Amino acid sequence: MTDKLIRGRLISFKRAPLSLTDTESYAYEHDGALLVADGRIAAFGDYAAVRSRAPEGIEEIDHRPHLILPGFIDMHLHFPQMQVIASYAANLLEWLNTYTFPEECRFVETDHAARIATHFYDELIRHGTTTAVAYCSVHKTSADAFFAEALKRGMCMVGGKVMMDRNAPQGLLDTPEMGYDETRAVIAEWHGKGRNHVAITPRFAITSTPAQMRAAQALAEEFPDLHIQTHLSENHDEIRYTLELYPQAKDYTDVYAHYGLLGPKTLLGHAIHLSEREADALSEAGAVAVHCPTSNLFLGSGLFPMKALMRREKPVRVAVATDIGGGSSYSMLRTMDEAYKIQQLLGERLNPLESFYLMTRGNAEALSMVGDIGTLEPGTTADLIVLDAAATPAMKLRMETVKTLPEELFLLQTMGDDRAVIETYVAGNAMKTAL
């Protein structure tokens, strides 16, 4: 019997907020409750109303005065890079070659992959992330470890065995055939098992030959419902080298378009330095540009023009992510703090309602999964977090002067981290306090 009543201040977005005063964009219950039955949200509303519908003797958990939100969604990170975070490098390509590729070679070992997978999910839960979209390593063992641990914890995860057949150490290379066969094997073993979703994952144009790109294209044609994830236009040297390797391409985006890899389920990490033509191409395909602010600042990659891309005549779909281990924090709150600062530097405003929308419903929409995750709407899975905007002494002091909900959310985003996450529920089960 997993049914329970979870009481607190509820907030769930209905659509993208248009301004800081757009109260129609979200549902808020000051003394609210969620009725959770069989791992799903059965009712959302005022505590007294939901209580009256709940069975007699139901377990009640009182999180007042804290906020209850849908769990955060992290749209791009690398499971084998937990021990790469905080590596001192001048830029992306140096960081990949010096630290990242050697570290990923270790994931050929089943025991190592399983050990890191345990830490990976612990860290997600600690930070309030209930769904993530991850790159595994080139080794099938890493994808097996990633999905086995997700299944054990009942979490909704998207991930892929990386395809890469050049420009990396021998221990990190497959071939076009291996990349195809092993991705197919991962799909057969894991896709649809529990809440697991497999993504077709060519790492980026630099590490895939044209023959491997064709293999990725074949997979995309055979499995049109699967997500595709790769990297795009993160760094100027990366862009230059890509165009040397694919001289016939109009630009970096055209490499992926040429192989049929651009569509509404395509997630493109970074996409910082796009031409107008490339932004049009993403918009027309419905592909998603995934913003990774802590990584872009850490590696000095550039300032992602998020607001400018969103308000184009042909808008580009945008999502947000940590990009562990190029990124420097597992926390989506820290991530949105850095996203805010990047827009400040570009002369743009990113308001806290937009930030919280992006971390929850926005990312779920970008994944085409809003029927299951990203909101507190009845019928969706009860992946929830409980946030305390007075989690530290400094936050508590600042909370004394906070008067509105947007102010409270902005404080959480600006000063919050894993300490602000009081509880993380996955399918109605309390996971954080059980760690």
Binding site for ligand GUN (CB under 6 A): 78, 92, 96, 100, 203-204, 231, 234, 295, 323, 326
At closest approach, how far in Å is the CB of 268 from Zn ion?
10
- For ligand GUN, which is the closer residue by CB, 77 or 426? 77
Residue nearest to ligand GUN (CB): 326
Tell me if the bond preceding 325 is cis, omega within 30° of 0.
yes
- Please work out, in degrees rounded to the nearest 5, the angle formed at the alpha carbon of residue 358 by the alpha carbons of 226 and 150: 45
How close are the terminal C-alpha atoms of the chain, in Å?
21
| Among ligand GUN, Zn ion, none, residue 100 binds (CB under 5-8 Å by kind) | ligand GUN
Q: Retrieve residue 331's tokens.
A: 């926390």
322, amino acid identity: T
- For ligand GUN, which is the closer residue by CB, 162 or 420? 162
Site for Zn ion in 308-337 (CB under 5 A): 323
- For ligand GUN, which is the closer residue by CB, 127 or 231? 231
User: Do 278 and 251 form a contact (C-beta atoms < 8 A)?
Assistant: yes
At closest approach, how far in Å is the CB of 348 from Zn ion?
24
At closest approach, how far in Å is the CB of 397 from ligand GUN?
36
| Among ligand GUN, Zn ion, none, residue 338 binds (CB under 5-8 Å by kind) | none
At closest approach, how far in Å is the CB of 76 from Zn ion?
6
Distance between CA atoms of 286 and 283, rounded to whole angstroms?
Answer: 5
| Among ligand GUN, Zn ion, none, residue 92 binds (CB under 5-8 Å by kind) | ligand GUN
Residue 240: exposure state from Cβ atoms within 10 A (0-12, 13-18, ≥19): exposed
- For ligand GUN, which is the closer residue by CB, 193 or 236? 236
| Among ligand GUN, Zn ion, none, residue 104 binds (CB under 5-8 Å by kind) | none
At closest approach, how far in Å is the CB of 124 from ligand GUN?
18
What single-letter DSSP state applies at residue 316? P
Strand partners, 36: 4, 41
| Among Zn ion, ligand GUN, none, residue 5 binds (CB under 5-8 Å by kind) | none
User: Could you tell me the maximum CA-CA distance found in the chain, to the nearest angstrom?
Assistant: 69
Of 229, 419, 402, residue with least CA distance to 334: 419
Give the count of alpha carbons within 13 A of 320, CB side only: 31
Does residue 293 interact with Zn ion by CB under 5 A? no
- For Zn ion, which is the closer residue by CB, 4 or 197? 197
Does residue 269 interact with Zn ion by CB under 5 A? yes
| Phi, psi for residue 385 in degrees, rounded to 5 | -130, 155
Strand partners, 163: 202
What single-letter DSSP state applies at residue 170? G
At closest approach, how far in Å is the CB of 295 from ligand GUN?
5
Does residue 159 interact with Zn ion by CB under 5 A? no
- For Zn ion, which is the closer residue by CB, 12 or 230? 230
| Among ligand GUN, Zn ion, none, residue 296 binds (CB under 5-8 Å by kind) | none
At closest approach, how far in Å is the CB of 303 from ligand GUN?
15
- For ligand GUN, which is the closer residue by CB, 198 or 324? 324
Of the candidate spans 97-105, 122-130, 264-272, 337-345, the one that interacts with Zn ion by CB under 5 A turns out to be: 264-272
User: Do 36 and 4 form a contact (C-beta atoms < 8 A)?
Assistant: yes
Token pair 């300032």 is at which residue? 303
Of 351, 263, 265, residue with least CA distance to 306: 351
Residue 16 CB coordination number (10 Å): 15
Contacting residues toward Zn ion, per CB under 5 A: 269, 323
